[in-house]
């Protein structure tokens, strides 16, 4: 089992390129960056992760693929992922090119983590209705995958349609950039993972033991070979917790790093040294 990290990259935190270099030097396997395109000032949608004021990092977050492209140039082994991308809020034709380009320039190190989103006003500004956000994500991601794979791509969905599209570059990783869906366990989540993804990013550890057999059964019933990746995400690590995830057969665990200035972040990474030694990349 490998260990990665996730942090909100912002203009007031550690330089994300330095973060990537320091993470790779310390033996981490991956770096995953969250995104919000913007935060509507109305703040009508409550923050689901807690009470009170939304942390500053949400409204100051960098664009993940842009930052990850710079990180690709500064590193050689670190996997570079979105954790998570709000795929419904991007034009899928142009976004497919962005991610294929990242995969090319990183020599096949991109990882595409996607999610459905929680901020109703944010997605509404992109023309996405909260009630149909799952269908939007499905269409956008599957359209991107067609462009990544097919020499002459066609896609017909409820929210995306195109005929005989030619798009390059293609990702190095085929048939697609490894795709993961973030969120809680449930039939809708597992149907999506089985249909158009390669793994699940459970947020928080509750219920993972019971969920994995259900996901594996859905995977096998759909005729998918092997098994889906399960990557617990945003974990506050303890050795017992990591050993538990390893026992469950998780491929990787992504540790949470708070969005802070350089010296504080490096102290956090150094504090994770025993965990990396126990679970080397």
Domains and CATH numbers, the chain: 2-278 (3.20.20.30)
How do residues 170-206 score in pLDDT, each as one tens digit? 999 999 999 999 999 999 999 999 999 999 999 877 7
How do residues 129-144 score in pLDDT, each as one tens digit? 999 999 999 999 999 9
pLDDT for the residue numbered 204: 75
Q: What is the pTM of this model?
A: 0.96
Strand runs (DSSP E) across the chain, as ranges?
2-6, 30-33, 79-85, 110-114, 153-156, 161-165, 179-182, 199-201, 229-230, 233-235, 252-256
What gap in Å lies between CA 178 and CA 81, rounded to an integer? 10
What gap in Å lies between CA 92 and CA 100, rounded to an integer? 12
Q: Examine residue 71 and say whether the peptide bond preceding it is cis (omega within 30 degrees of 0).
A: no
DSSP 55: P
- pLDDT beneath 70: ranges in the chain: none
Q: Could you give the C-alpha distances from 88 to 147, 173, 181, 200, in angstroms and in order?
A: 16, 22, 13, 18
pLDDT for the residue numbered 118: 95
DSSP 42: T
What gap in Å lies between CA 95 and CA 111, rounded to an integer? 14
What are the residues whose beta carbons fall under 8 Å from the beta carbon of 94, sequence distance 6 or more? none
């Amino acid at each position: 089992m490998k260990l990665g990290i996730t942090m909100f990259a912002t203009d007031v935190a550690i330089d994300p390129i330095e973060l990537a270099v320091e993470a790779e030097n310390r033996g981490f396997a991956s770096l995953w960056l969250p995104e919000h395109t913007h935060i509507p000032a109305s703040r009508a949608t409550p923050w689901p992760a807690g009470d009170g004021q939304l942390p500053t990092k949400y409204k100051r977050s960098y664009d993940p693929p842009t930052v990850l492209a710079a990180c690709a140039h500064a590193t050689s082994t670190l996997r570079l992922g979105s954790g998570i991308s709000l795929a419904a809020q991007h034009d899928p034709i142009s976004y497919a090119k962005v991610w294929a380009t990242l995969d090319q320039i990183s020599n096949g190190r991109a990882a595409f983590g996607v999610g459905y989103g929680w901020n109703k006003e944010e997605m509404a500004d992109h023309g996405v209705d909260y009630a149909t956000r799952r269908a939007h994500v499905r269409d956008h991601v599957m359209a991107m995958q067609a462009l990544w794979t097919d020499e002459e791509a066609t896609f017909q969905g409820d929210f995306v349609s195109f005929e005989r599209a030619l798009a390059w570059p293609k990702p190095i990783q085929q048939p697609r950039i490894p795709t993961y869906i973030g969120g809680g366990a449930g039939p809708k989540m597992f149907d999506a993972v089985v249909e158009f993804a390669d793994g699940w990013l459970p947020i928080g550890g509750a219920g993972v033991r019971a969920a994995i057999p259900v996901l594996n059964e859905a995977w096998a019933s759909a005729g998918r070979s092997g098994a889906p990746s399960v990557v617990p995400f945003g974990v506050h690590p303890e050795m017992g917790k990591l050993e538990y995830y390893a026992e469950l057969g998780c491929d990787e665990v992504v540790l949470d790093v708070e969005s802070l200035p350089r010296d504080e972040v490096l102290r956090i990474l150094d504090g994770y040294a025993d965990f990396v030694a126990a679970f080397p990349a």
